[in-house]
Amino acid sequence: MPKKNFWLELKKKKQPILALAPMAGFTDSAFRQICKKFGADVLYSEMASATALYYSDYAKDKSSRQKIKSATLELLHFNRQKEKYYVVQLFGSNPEHFAAAARIITKEIRPDGIDINFGCPVSKVIKQGAGSDLMKNLPRARAVIEAVLNNTNLPVSIKIRAKSGNVDALQFLKTLNDLPLAALMIHGRSVNQGFAGEPDCELIKKTRKYFSGVILANGGINDLPGAQKIMKASQADGLGLARGILGRPWLFQEIKRNKEISLSVADTLKLMFKQAQLQEKIKGSGAIIELRKHLVWYVKSLPGASRLREQLVKVESLSDLKKIIKEYQTTI
């Protein structure tokens, strides 16, 4: 039986749908929970490999299967009460792998939805024929989507770029408009643009002609005025916030309330420490090392940020972090 399409439920509220977009190394459970508290409607996992999940079921050696599965599923851990609505994003290029991954995720993770990545421009992903490279291969892209749709009862969404190679978003969507996809997140820049330049809001607006589900605009959303501008120009159903949310998860609340928030230095540091505590609670002692990249984003605009960053990239424990914060507060 198909699971309820939460995307439609959110759209019925007639408010912009705000999503924490998937970011490798950043959108883990601790950060997702922080973003949820600030008003994120939808939370995406970090990118998970469909191929890794496939081999967790099909590797010949049983111990290898368990090792692969444990590592991948640990990446996708989520708190059902505190991370609603949660979407697992998959990357890869083999339809058979996606079919297996969809079955495993549906059975063992039980998220609210599954997303397929067609937009990642990172070279190690592209070399696998995955991410934005898969967007250029229209027959294979369709086969991948069909494989997921046929092996889950969860709503399926896709994330794409404005253009990859010679294939733009409109060409891509034309070949898929008969498939029951629930949502589309479109990064308004081409693969060649990377993260530079203005997103093409006019192109995002035109996708409505070829896509009947929920449409989220993504790319270049770094503050409230930017979010308002992109929402108005793209006429999307909502926004997917990515790099602009790093170190300032309260941007979700700013957009919800249509009002800028000026967080004090003390409150910023308090929030940063709270995320570190949550990270350690979820992943155990030593997990704060993974958080270093988040910490430097939090202090980016604080007085004396350069010196503070030098200390934060070396932090190894909560007590280290507490000491650094305490010493810093005596200097401002």
The class of domain 265-329 in CATH terms is: mainly alpha
- CATH code 1.10.1200.80 region(s) in the chain: 265-329
Q: Helix, strand, or coil here: 243?
A: helix
User: Is the N-terminal amide bond of 58 cis, ω within 30° of 0?
Assistant: no
CB 157 within 8 A of CB 113: yes
CB 286 within 8 A of CB 258: no
pLDDT in tens, 237-272: 999 999 999 999 999 999 999 999 999 999 999 999
pLDDT in tens, 22-53: 999 999 999 999 999 999 999 999 999 999 99
Cross-strand bridge partners of residue 49: 91
Rg of the Cα trace of the chain?
20
pLDDT exceeds cutoff 70 at 67: no
Pairing state between β 86-91 and 42-49: parallel
Distance CA 178, CA 312 (A): 50
* DSSP run (H or E) holding 273: helix 265-283
For 150-184, letters b (16+ CB in 10 Å) and e give ebbebbbbbbbbbbbeebbbeebbeebeeeebbbb
pLDDT in tens, 132-181: 999 999 999 999 999 999 999 999 999 999 999 999 999 999 999 999 99
Does the domain at residues 6-257 carry the CATH identifier 3.40.50.1980? no
* DSSP run (H or E) holding 185: strand 183-190
End-to-end CA distance of the chain: 58
User: What's the length of the chain?
Assistant: 332
Distance CA 15, CA 5 (A): 17
- CATH code 3.20.20.70 region(s) in the chain: 6-257
Cα separations in angstroms, 191 against 33, 45, 135, 264: 30, 22, 10, 37
**pTM of this structure:** 0.94
Distance of CA 325 to the CA centre of its chain: 29
